[in-house]
A and B are shown apart, each in its own frame.
Chain A
Amino acid sequence: MFAFLIRRTAYGLITVLGVLALLFVLFFLYAKPIDIARRAVGEKAPPEVLEKWIENHGYDRPVLEQLKDHYRRMLTFDFGRSDLDDSSIKERIRRGVVPSLTLTLPLFFMGLFVSIGLSLFVAYFRETYIDRAGVALCVFGMSVSILIYIIGGQFVIGKMLRWFPISGFDPTPALIARFMALPVIIGILSTFGSDVRFYRTVFVEESNRDYVRTARAKGCGDGRIMARHVLPNAMIPILTRVVVAIPFLFTGSLLLEAFFGIPGLGSMTVDAINGNDFSTLRAMVFIGSLLFIGGQILTDVSYTLVDPRVRLG
């Protein structure tokens, strides 16, 4: 197991190096320094000011040197300063983590609870009207863009019914739930369709396996079969999907944060896009990848815990 972990992490690190190379190609070879400078300082700025800016930010050095610098800095998490407002990227990241988590943690756990619960319910009644209606609802839900969920949700729940404030963020513990309620609800609703559909398929497929027939033949009731036989086996594919999503708890949901005015990492990324802030964007993509790779390693490790065939070979 230990050897497996080492190997897996090593491959992950190599992948990280690959990701960094790709990022470098994307950001430096395609974006001309003069354009970045113009965007940061202003279109009308005189050439000397632009050149000074380029020199300050190190965009005028030879490519190989920039590449080495890129690797060195990224791997030491020295993200530098934003192209837009020269603020420390690392600081902004530090400040943005908590707001992002206040959105994504409840979203993740409640979403998981609700989706798995409902898909178990639908799978239990498979091939009946409940199941068919459930699947139809899921397909409908999947076909609606998340934008519509957000806009519609804000309108219906926020404006018409006035249950929760439409947007805004207040970190004081007493008020935070009210502000988080709408984005969490809408976030769950938007991925509900595809999640339940996926989990249901997994549960139904496991329910049709031979060992379930054996369990029934030895006298297990349907409920026990679901809980003790189907669920543990279904965990294996479900875990892939779930654990991989954990890293995104940190990077936050771009759309939800922007629409609901939550000052987290997602908002930061959206601002970077709108302002062509390559430095910040580069840092965000890098962090996203690190977390993603970490999530994949976590998934592989969780397999060994859940599936004896993987653990014992």
Chain B
Amino acid sequence: MSVVLRVRELSTSFSGPGGRVCVVDGVSLELAEGEILALVGESGCGKSVTALSILRLVPKPGRIDAGEIEIDGQDVLALSVSAMRRLRGGDAAMIFQEPMTSLNPVQTVGSQVVEAIRLHDSVSQSLARRRTVELFEQVRIPDATDRFEAYPHQLSGGLKQRVMIAMALALRPKLLIADEPSTALDVTIQAQILELMRDLQRDLGTAILLITHDLGVVNELADRIAVMYAGRIVEEGARKEVLSGARHPYTRGLMRSIPSLARRGEPLAEISGVVPSPSEWPAGCRFSTRCDVVFERCRAEVPGPTRLSNTHSTRCHVVEREESA
């Protein structure tokens, strides 16, 4: 199994009125061919910025400060502008959260997909058109031929997201980054989109980096999970390992906070406190301000990785202490 995406110690920061603020701090990920990795975390933990950094789409005043990014063996940070353009939409594609605004309102949806195709493949207009209609059928857009001429405002959110997926998968990318693809949609449509993505992934063998804050989505799709908190990955592992066997206090807090039918009538569990903003990150372990098993070392030192199995690791002093015992 070859590695499609390798991220090592990625750091991205934004400059603002108070100076430079680090938003992604030393994140490392790996994604194998055909795998679905879910990057999970609350709003503001830096997961979207991580995704944008991988394709160098971070908007100014953001900047990638350090790290290595490899897609299919290519060193992304060293690519020229034109090579980057070839990569985006070609071997690596991305879909976004807000389908309502992510399509150009004055062009037909069909022409936008055709543009994506013709940017990478020198095919004729009519051939690209036919491929687009086929793609629309693949993503289960009804009346695909008619819909080609539709404008974005004439389509529902679910249909627009399907168009985005079609556009992203048009050139059979090895890597698809999906940033909260279903969050902005109705629950029923969410389920359809997720099912679509799962089927497409199975058919095309695309590796997917799925960004989400919804553990339900994670349960549906992910092969592996990485949990992110305040700019760092705090736990990662296979789906079952993280969902049922979480070791990091934050992940455990997340799992506990999912309302369950089994515990009806009990008060909902919560993680006390709020996520610190990037300018207020505590020294040492970033979760130390909210952790219920915190001890002095947590506040002083940044925890290193602790291996729990071949696939499962976490960054926590408490777990490290437990494991060495």
CB of B256 closer than 8 Å to a CB of A: no
Report the Cα distance A34→B93, complex, angstroms: 80
Contact flags A168-200 to B (C-beta < 8 A → 1, else 0): 000000000000000000000000000000000
CB of B106 closer than 8 Å to a CB of A: yes
CB of B304 closer than 8 Å to a CB of A: no
Report the Cα distance A214→B164, complex, angstroms: 9
Which residues of chain B have C-beta atoms less than 8 A from A218's C-beta?
A: 88-89, 93, 115-116, 119, 167-168
CB of A139 closer than 8 Å to a CB of B: no
Contact flags A76-90 to B (C-beta < 8 A → 1, else 0): 000000000000000
* B82, B94, B105, B168 interface centre (most CB from chain A within 10 Å): B105
A219 touching B104 in the complex, CB below 8 Å, given contacts A214-B164, A308-B153:
no
A137 to chain B, nearest CB (A): 22
Which residues of chain B have C-beta atoms less than 8 A from A219's C-beta?
A: 85-90, 116, 119-120
- Among the stretches B22-30, B53-61, B226-234, the one at the interface with A is B53-61
A215 touching B104 in the complex, CB below 8 Å, given contacts A220-B119, A308-B151:
yes
Report the Cα distance A62→B85, complex, angstroms: 77
- Among the stretches B95-103, B189-197, B214-222, B247-255, the one at the interface with A is B95-103
A66 to chain B, nearest CB (A): 51
Contact flags B187-224 to A (C-beta < 8 A → 1, else 0): 00000000000000000000000000000000000000
A69 to chain B, nearest CB (A): 49
Which of B108-126 touch A at CB < 8 Å?
115-116, 119-120
B93 near A216 with CB under 8 A, answer no
CB of B154 closer than 8 Å to a CB of A: yes
Cross-interface CB contact of B104 among A127, A208, A233, cutoff 8 Å? A233
A213 near B102 with CB under 8 A, answer yes
B105 near A211 with CB under 8 A, answer yes
A306 touching B93 in the complex, CB below 8 Å, given contacts A217-B57, A218-B116, A219-B119:
no
> Nearest CB to that of A216 among chain B residues?
B57
> Nearest CB to that of B101 among chain A residues?
A210
Which residues of chain B have C-beta atoms less than 8 A from A210's C-beta?
A: 96, 98, 101-102
Band of interface residues on A: 20 to 34
CB of A261 closer than 8 Å to a CB of B: no
Contact flags A206-231 to B (C-beta < 8 A → 1, else 0): 00111101111111110000001100
Which residues of chain B have C-beta atoms less than 8 A from A220's C-beta?
A: 85, 115, 119
Which residues of chain B have C-beta atoms less than 8 A from A229's C-beta?
A: 104
Which residues of chain B have C-beta atoms less than 8 A from A309's C-beta?
A: 105, 151, 153
CB of A312 closer than 8 Å to a CB of B: yes
A242 to chain B, nearest CB (A): 17
Which residues of chain A have C-beta atoms less than 8 A from B119's C-beta?
A: 218-220
Report the Cα distance A306→B107, complex, angstroms: 10
Which residues of chain A have C-beta atoms less than 8 A from B102's C-beta?
A: 210-211, 213-214
Which residues of chain A have C-beta atoms less than 8 A from B82's C-beta?
A: 221
Cross-interface CB contact of B105 among A127, A215, A233, cutoff 8 Å? A233
Report the Cα distance A232→B106, complex, angstroms: 7
A33 to chain B, nearest CB (A): 56
A213 touching B153 in the complex, CB below 8 Å, given contacts A218-B115, A233-B105:
no
A211 near B88 with CB under 8 A, answer no
A306 near B96 with CB under 8 A, answer no
A214 touching B96 in the complex, CB below 8 Å, given contacts A127-B61, A308-B106, A309-B153:
yes
> Nearest CB to that of A220 among chain B residues?
B119
Which residues of chain A have C-beta atoms less than 8 A from B115's C-beta?
A: 218, 220, 228
Which of A123-140 touch B at CB < 8 Å?
127
Contact flags A271-313 to B (C-beta < 8 A → 1, else 0): 0000000000000000000000000000000000011110010
Which of A87-144 touch B at CB < 8 Å?
127
A312 near B89 with CB under 8 A, answer no
A87 to chain B, nearest CB (A): 50
B151 near A312 with CB under 8 A, answer yes
A307 near B88 with CB under 8 A, answer no
* A215, A219, A309 interface centre (most CB from chain B within 10 Å): A219
Which residues of chain B have C-beta atoms less than 8 A from A307's C-beta?
A: 105-106
Report the Cα distance A218→B55, complex, angstroms: 10
A217 near B89 with CB under 8 A, answer yes
Report A's interface with B, CB cutoff 8 A.
127, 208-211, 213-221, 228-229, 232-233, 306-309, 312
Task: Apart from A215-B104, A221-B81, A309-B105, list 16 A-B contacts with CB within 8 A.
Answer: A208-B59, A210-B101, A211-B101, A213-B96, A214-B102, A214-B104, A214-B167, A217-B93, A218-B168, A219-B86, A219-B88, A219-B116, A232-B107, A233-B105, A308-B151, A308-B153
Q: List 19 A-B contacts (CB under 8 A).
A: A208-B59, A210-B96, A210-B102, A211-B103, A211-B104, A214-B164, A214-B167, A215-B104, A217-B55, A217-B93, A218-B88, A218-B93, A218-B116, A218-B119, A218-B168, A219-B90, A221-B81, A308-B106, A309-B151
Report B's interface with A, CB cutoff 8 A.
55, 57, 59-61, 81-82, 85-90, 93-94, 96, 98, 101-107, 115-116, 119-120, 151, 153-154, 164, 167-168
Top 8 closest A-B pairs, CB basis?
A219-B89, A218-B89, A210-B101, A218-B116, A217-B94, A219-B88, A308-B151, A211-B104
